[in-house]
Chain A
Amino acid sequence: MNLKKTLFAAAFFYFLIAPFFFHPDLKTIFYLSQFFKNGVFDIYAFIAQNPDKALLGPFVYPPLAYFLFGVLFVPVKLLAGADFVSWLGRGNEAVAAVSIFRYLFLMKLPIILAHLATGALLLRFLKDKEDRRLILLLWFFNPVSIYVIGLMGQFDVIPVMASVLALIVLGKRPYLAALLLGLAAGIKTYPLLLLPFVAVLSSKKWQEQIKVFAVGAFVYLLAIAPFLKTQAFYQSTLVSGLSQRIFDLGLPLGFGERILVIPAIIIALFIFCWRRDAGKPQAALPYFLSIPLLAVAGTHFHPQWALWALPFLILATVKHKLYPAASLFFLGWLAVVLLFNDSFLTWGLFAALDPGVLSLMPPAELIRSFFDPLLLQSLAHTVLAVGAGWITWSAFTSRTYEK
């Protein structure tokens, strides 16, 4: 099977479904990013000072996401037409607009292009023709990619693309890898977790390790420096989402104290990396896989967080034929997501095709009479965690990854 054919098939699929499925997050980020063209630099302070503009909520991402979408806003608006801006300013349920299909397609277009590019980058990791074909099929046609990119239109694939690129260049150009992670962290914060590992893997000499780390940290700090004096920046980005949830899983010690499980695992992995894999960039893949996977397995995650580890999970799955484990992961993930008590993560995705779905209760509410949805969701999360753990264990114990 020609690999180009698979890429074309993927492009066909995502462009086919893009116009028809809706999630308000995409609308929100474009709504807030429009202020960039009006000269607003500090979006956090602007929203805090203009609460009437915060109809859809504050800007909760790092600043490079704002600038990126601020630039993308211009061509999207040009092609979307005159009513696009007023549609963006309406509530999350404004799905009855005549041109909504056009808007959804245009907003998702850059995200889909990044998704296709990431698929092409993944081919760099394996040489066997059949493995390369499977990589592409799994990357484009798995439930996480279809849901997060095709249906929701989340932009996590952009920092994911940078992290894949970082892994590719780590061996020969570690400073570039660190720079890429620093830039990616300016769009979504999670790549910062990979930076210490990249530093250690790049060299055996601690001086070199510190320099590599400093490059990535400097790029990230450069991105956020202008906003460090803005109180709203801290509230919107640094104390929300992942930065809080990784501290939720804990073992109680009494008197309010806990052992924080996710940080403990990250620290243990770092020590393991430092002791065994310092200066071995070819051993990087299990760390790129396991660190972001912890955010999914060990927290009450947002659906799109599963994309962070996905390329590396797929690489591990194909290399070691871990299809049962991957199946557990995907099925568990899908069940957890469908059991979120949030219409927009379930029926609401179809709202552009039928606004009437917004009158439906989420599936979690519908099954409440028969079964505790939280217990069911917990069981599904456990299945996901087992699948994730199995793949991670195999990745660390095989140690046969070579780029």
Chain B
Amino acid sequence: MKNSFITSIILALSLFGISFVVSAFIVRNRLDTQFPGGDFLVVEESIERTFTPRNDFLNIIFITLKNPNLKSSAQMRFNLLDEKGEVLRQIDFSGRNVEDPAKMRFQFEPISDSRGRPLTVRLEVVSAHKDPILVSVNDRFRRDLAFAAYYRKPGKLAAVKDTTSFWKGHVLGDIAFFSIWAVLLGTIALARRKT
């Protein structure tokens, strides 16, 4: 490690390289839509939210649940409904399998024509328990179900394009920060050279 500056560049590039490889070749699903959580609510009968996926091949919905003290053994059901209210995908699960908190993964056969179709994610109680399950919602007043929806990536080339486009979008989306950040790095590099 005679030249620490070159070492630092190599290490940084290695980290970015790992990230790129993971993103382009290992990650099989991409984030389609995310409704972040801000609170937790008891699921009494059912809770749902309708959204319009931006991509085809929707295949995973993540919902964060809580099972206080791991006591609940309520029988629950995850439903994905189409615009007519018909069930497209359904997964039953037990409160016994819910930790506190738990990021529940509902993975199903990809919906090949999901793009642009209003779909409803619904969580319902099939058989209640005295210790209920709580579900993540955006806030306790609006009570909209919080979840993240992923779609299956189409292919390696498209994935690489997606990844580079995502990074480019973020840089251009906060150009002020990246400009200052680049100036900072340049200043440090210059100061090092002059030392």
Q: Which residues of A contact B (CB under 8 A)?
A: 1-2, 4-6, 8-13, 15-17, 19-21, 52, 55, 89-91, 93-94, 96, 98-102, 105, 136-137, 140-141, 146, 151, 347, 350, 353-360
Contacts and interface: CB of A to CB of B under 8 A. Distances in A.
A20 B62 contact: no
B12 A16 contact: yes
Given A137-B4, A141-B8, A359-B31, 16 more contacts: A2-B195, A8-B195, A12-B185, A12-B189, A12-B192, A55-B37, A93-B148, A105-B177, A141-B1, A141-B11, A353-B167, A354-B19, A354-B166, A357-B27, A358-B62, A359-B150
Nearest to A354: B23
B7 A9 contact: yes
Contacts of A105: 177, 181
B29 A356 contact: yes
Contacts of B22: 347, 350, 354, 357
Contacts of B75: none
B102 interface: no
B2 interface: yes
Contacts of A102: 174, 177
A5 B192 contact: yes
A212 to B, nearest CB: 39
Contacts of B177: 19, 99, 101-102, 105
Report, nearest first, the 3 A-B pairs whose CB atoms are least far apart: A13-B8, A8-B192, A90-B36
A359 B60 contact: yes
B136 A91 contact: yes
A355 B181 contact: no
Contact of A93 (B36, B105, B163): B36
A11 B131 CA distance: 52
A94 B136 CA distance: 13
B38 interface: yes
B104 to A, nearest CB: 13
A105 B103 CA distance: 27
B27 A12 contact: no
A12 B174 CA distance: 20
B108 interface: no
Interface string B164-195: 00110011011001100100110011011001
> What DSSP secondary structure best describes chain A's contact surface?
helix
Given A359-B27, A359-B62, A16 B8 contact: yes
A384 B2 CA distance: 27
Interface of B: 1-5, 7-9, 11-12, 15-16, 18-19, 22-23, 26-31, 34, 36-40, 60, 62, 64, 103, 105, 136, 140, 146, 148, 150, 153, 163, 166-167, 170-171, 173-174, 177-178, 181, 184-185, 188-189, 191-192, 195
Given A4-B195, A93-B36, A101-B170, A357 B16 contact: no
A224 to B, nearest CB: 28
A11 B12 CA distance: 12
B195 A5 contact: yes
Contacts of B3: 1
Given A10-B8, A12-B192, A355-B31, A55 B39 contact: yes
Contacts of A141: 1, 4, 7-8, 11
B173 A137 contact: no
A124 B38 CA distance: 48
Contact of B34 (A8, A9, A94): A94
A1 B31 contact: no
B40, B60, B148, B189, most chain A CB atoms within 10 A: B148
A147 to B, nearest CB: 10
Contacts of A4: 192, 195
Given A9-B7, A93-B36, A99 B173 contact: yes
Contacts of A1: 2-4
In this complex, the member of B153, B171, B191 whose beta carbon has the largest number of chain A beta carbons within 10 angstroms is B191
Contacts of A101: 170-171, 174, 177-178
24 contacts: A1-B4, A5-B192, A6-B4, A12-B5, A12-B188, A12-B192, A19-B181, A20-B16, A90-B37, A93-B103, A94-B34, A96-B34, A99-B173, A99-B174, A101-B170, A141-B7, A350-B18, A350-B22, A354-B27, A355-B148, A357-B27, A358-B148, A359-B28, A359-B62
Given A13-B11, A52-B39, A356 B150 contact: yes
A362 to B, nearest CB: 11
Nearest to B138: A90
Given A1-B4, A90-B38, A356 B31 contact: yes
Contacts of A146: 11
Contacts of A20: 15-16, 19
Contacts of A94: 34, 36
A321 B88 CA distance: 64
Nearest to B34: A96
Nearest to B184: A15
B173 A9 contact: no
A91 B23 contact: no
Contacts of B64: 91
B160 to A, nearest CB: 12
A102 to B, nearest CB: 4
A355 B166 CA distance: 10
A53 B130 CA distance: 25
Contacts of A21: 15
Contacts of B62: 93, 358-359
Contacts of A17: 12, 15
